[in-house]
C-alpha cells in the first residue's frame, strides 16, 4: 500500500508527487470550493503528459487504489476532492496546460485538459475567434473539468453547453489505455458516441487529457441591457419576444429575483444595482451582433419599445459602454458571493421547461413559505435555458449553520419533488458528485439508472475512477 507513492514518483518525478509523510501541505487539493467536505489523500500526483496519466492509472489499478481527477477544483457538488479514507490518489491535471493546435479554417482548437478556461478563451481571441463557454469560475476552472461536468454558464442559449463545444477527446481509460479520439470532425457516424459518454461523466468513466474544441466567429459587437419586469410570466414573454426580434443574436438571458439583488445591494453597495427596487424581477439580456454597434443598438431599442408597449417590461437601460456592460454582468455574477456573505444556504441547480417556470416558482415559493415561515428565496439563473439557481436561505436572524443541518434534506425533497412534478431535472449544469449521489435514485428513471450502472461496470470494473461519485454502490 505504501509502495504506491514511490512508484508514482518513478513515473512523474519526485517534485510532482506530494505526500503528508514528506511534510507536504495537501489541503488545497483536499478541500472543495464550497467548503462542504474536506478529504484526505494518500498522495497528490501531477503528471505532465497523457502517457504519464496512463502509467499513473495503471499503477493505481494494480495497487487497487481509487483515483480522483481534479482540474481547477471549482466544482460545486463535491466531486473533485478525495474522501476521508486516506487511500485515494488525487490526480491533478494542472500541468497538462498546453494549447496544442488552432485550426482557424476548421474553427477548432485542441487544448490539454488542464488549460484554464480563460486561457482557452484568450487563445481563441488571439486567433480572431471565439470560444464561447463562459462562467464566473473561468479564471480557475479547466477545460477538462468543464467537459467532465458538461458545464453550462451564460452563453448556452446561443452556443450550447460544454458538450456542444466539443468535437473530440483524448481519454485515459480505467485500464490505463489512451483513447486517441481527437479531431475536428462535425460528422462521424462510425458507431457509438464515446465522446458524449465521457463528457459529463465527472471523472467516473475515464480521465480526459485533451479535447478538440469548436470555435466560432467573433461577433462585431456585444450589447447588454437590463430590464425591470412585473413578473416571471413577463420574463418568459420577454424571452419569446427577444428570440423573435434577435434570433440567434440573443446570446444571454439571465433572470434575477428582487431578494437576490437586494443581497448584492447590501453586501456590495459599490456595484450600484439598477432598477431592483421597482420590480420583483430583473433580466439581463445580451445581443451579439455580427454587423455593427449601431445595428445592435437599433434592434435592442425596437425590442425594448415593443416590450414596454406589451407591458412585459416596466423600465430598462441599455449599457452605453463596454465598461457599463461588464458592470451589469458583474452584478449578475456577484449574486453567489453576496449570498455567501449573507450566510450558508441550500443551493439548487434545477432545470425546467421554460413554459413551466412561472407555475413552478409560484407553487414552490408558497409551499416553502408554508413549511418554513420566513424562509428567504434567492432565485436567479439562466432563464433562457430553463435553468434556475433556486436557493433557500434561513429566515432572517436565524442561525444559517443550524438551518443547513436541520432543514437541508427536507428542503431538498420539497423542491426536487416539485421539480419532478413539473418535468424538470435536479441537476442542470453542476452535476451529481457526492452531494447528490444519494438523491439521484429517487428522481432518475430506474431503467436509465440501471444502464448507467452497467456502463460504469463495463468501463471501470474495478471501480477505481472517482469512486462513489454520481453512482453509489
Chain residues binding ligand FAD by CB under 6 A are: 33, 68-76, 79-80, 93, 113, 135-137, 141-142, 144-146, 148-149, 151-153, 202-203, 207-208, 336, 429-430, 433, 466, 469
Other C-beta atoms lying within 10 Å of the C-beta of residue 104 = 12
211 vs 234 by CB, closer to ligand FAD = 211
- For residue 439, report the phi and psi dihedrals to the nearest 5 degrees: -85, -30
What number of other Cβ atoms are within 10 A of residue 201's Cβ? Answer: 26
Give the shortest CB-371-to-ligand FAD separation in angstroms.
Answer: 28
CB of 310 to ligand FAD, least distance (A): 30
For residues 50 and 313, which CB has a smaller minimum distance to ligand FAD in the complex? 50
Residue with smaller CB distance to ligand FAD, 141 or 263:
141
DSSP H or E run through 301: helix 293-309
In the complex with ligand FAD, which residue's Cβ is closer, 5 or 71?
71
Say how far apart CA 471 and CA 449 lie, in whole Å. 9
* Nearest residue to the partner ligand FAD, using Cβ: 145
CB contact at 8 A, 419 and 359: no
Work out how close the CB of 137 gets to ligand FAD at its nearest, in angstroms, rounded to a whole number.
4
- Burial class of residue 313, CB neighbours in 10 A (0-12, 13-18, 19+): buried
Rounded Cα distance between 153 and 388, Å, is 11
For residues 146 and 351, which CB has a smaller minimum distance to ligand FAD in the complex? Answer: 146
Looking at the Cβ atoms of 156 and 221, the one nearer to ligand FAD is 156
Shortest distance, position 24 Cβ to ligand FAD, whole Å: 19
Q: How far is the CB of 173 from ligand FAD (least distance, A)?
A: 11
φ, ψ of residue 247 in degrees (nearest 5):
55, -135
For ligand FAD, which is the closer residue by CB, 19 or 134?
134
Q: Give me the long-range contacts of 137-142 (CB less than 8 A, separation at least 24).
A: 137/33, 137/72, 137/74, 140/72, 140/73, 140/74, 140/116, 141/71, 141/72, 141/74, 141/116, 141/117, 142/71, 142/72, 142/93, 142/94, 142/113, 142/114, 142/115, 142/116, 142/117
- Minimum distance, C-beta of residue 101 to ligand FAD, in the bound complex (Å): 18
Q: What angle do CA 305, 230, 317 make, to 5 degrees?
A: 45
Q: How large is the C-alpha radius of gyration of the chain?
A: 23
The residue with cell 489541503 is: 27
Phi, psi at residue 66, to the nearest 5°?
A: -70, 150
Contact 72, 179 (CB under 8 A): no
For the bound state, the minimum distance from the C-beta of residue 168 to ligand FAD, rounded and expressed in Å, comes to: 14
CA dist., res. 4 & res. 201, Å (int):
26
Of the two residues 31 and 327, which places its CB atom closer to ligand FAD in the complex?
31
Residue 268 CB, nearest approach to ligand FAD (Å): 14
Q: Which is nearer to ligand FAD, 94 or 368 (CB)?
A: 94
Amino acid at each position: 500500500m505504501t509502495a504506491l507513492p514511490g512508484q508514482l514518483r518513478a513515473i512523474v518525478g519526485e517534485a510532482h508527487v506530494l505526500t503528508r509523510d514528506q511534510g507536504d501541505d495537501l489541503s488545497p487539493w483536499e478541500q472543495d470550493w464550497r467548503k462542504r467536505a474536506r478529504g484526505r489523500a494518500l498522495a497528490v500526483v501531477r503528471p505532465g503528459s497523457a502517457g504519464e496519466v496512463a502509467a499513473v492509472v495503471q499503477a493505481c489499478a494494480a495497487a487497487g487504489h481509487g483515483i480522483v481527477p481534479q482540474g481547477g477544483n471549482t466544482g460545486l457538488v463535491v466531486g473533485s476532492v478525495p474522501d476521508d479514507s486516506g487511500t485515494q490518489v488525487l490526480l491533478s491535471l494542472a500541468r497538462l496546460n498546453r494549447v496544442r493546435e488552432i485550426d482557424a479554417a476548421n474553427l477548432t482548437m485542441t487544448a490539454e485538459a488542464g488549460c484554464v478556461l480563460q486561457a482557452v478563451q484568450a487563445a481563441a481571441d488571439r486567433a480572431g475567434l471565439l470560444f464561447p463557454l463562459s462562467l464566473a469560475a473561468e479564471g480557475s476552472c479547466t477545460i477538462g473539468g468543464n467537459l467532465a461536468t458538461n458545464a453550462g454558464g451564460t452563453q448556452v442559449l446561443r452556443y450550447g453547453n460544454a458538450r456542444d463545444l466539443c468535437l473530440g477527446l483524448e481519454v485515459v481509460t480505467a485500464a490505463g489505455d489512451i483513447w486517441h479520439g481527437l479531431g475536428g470532425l462535425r460528422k462521424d457516424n462510425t458507431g457509438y458516441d464515446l465522446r458524449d459518454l465521457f463528457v459529463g461523466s465527472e471523472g467516473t468513466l475515464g480521465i480526459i487529457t485533451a479535447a478538440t474544441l469548436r470555435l466560432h466567429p467573433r461577433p462585431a459587437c456585444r450589447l447588454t441591457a437590463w430590464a425591470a419586469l412585473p413578473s416571471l410570466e413577463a420574463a418568459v414573454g420577454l424571452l419569446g419576444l427577444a428570440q423573435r426580434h434577435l434570433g440567434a443574436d440573443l446570446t444571454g438571458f439571465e433572470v434575477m429575483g428582487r431578494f437576490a439583488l437586494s443581497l448584492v445591494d447590501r453586501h456590495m453597495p459599490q456595484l450600484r444595482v439598477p432598477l431592483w427596487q421597482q420590480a420583483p424581477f430583473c433580466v439581463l439580456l445580451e445581443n451579439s451582433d455580427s454587423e455593427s454597434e449601431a445595428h445592435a443598438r437599433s434592434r435592442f431599442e425596437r425590442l425594448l419599445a415593443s416590450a414596454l408597449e406589451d407591458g412585459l417590461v416596466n423600465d430598462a437601460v441599455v449599457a452605453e459602454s463596454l465598461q457599463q456592460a461588464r458592470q451589469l454582468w458583474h452584478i449578475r455574477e456577484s449574486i453567489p458571493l453576496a449570498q455567501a456573505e449573507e450566510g450558508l444556504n441550500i443551493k439548487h441547480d434545477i432545470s425546467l421547461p421554460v413554459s413551466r417556470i412561472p407555475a413552478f416558482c409560484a407553487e414552490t415559493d408558497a409551499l416553502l413559505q408554508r413549511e418554513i415561515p420566513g424562509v428567504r428565496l434567492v432565485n436567479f439563473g439562466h432563464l433562457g435555458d430553463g435553468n434556475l439557481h433556486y436557493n433557500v436561505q434561513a429566515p432572517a436572524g436565524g442561525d444559517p449553520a443550524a438551518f443547513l443541518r436541520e432543514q437541508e434534506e427536507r428542503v431538498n425533497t420539497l423542491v426536487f419533488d416539485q421539480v419532478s412534478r413539473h418535468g424538470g431535472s435536479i441537476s442542470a449544469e453542476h452535476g451529481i458528485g457526492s452531494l447528490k449521489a444519494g438523491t439521484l435514485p429517487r428522481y432518475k428513471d430506474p431503467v436509465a439508472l440501471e444502464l448507467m450502472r452497467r456502463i460504469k461496470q463495463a468501463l471501470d470494473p474495478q471501480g477505481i475512477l472517482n469512486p462513489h461519485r454520481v453512482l453509489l454502490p
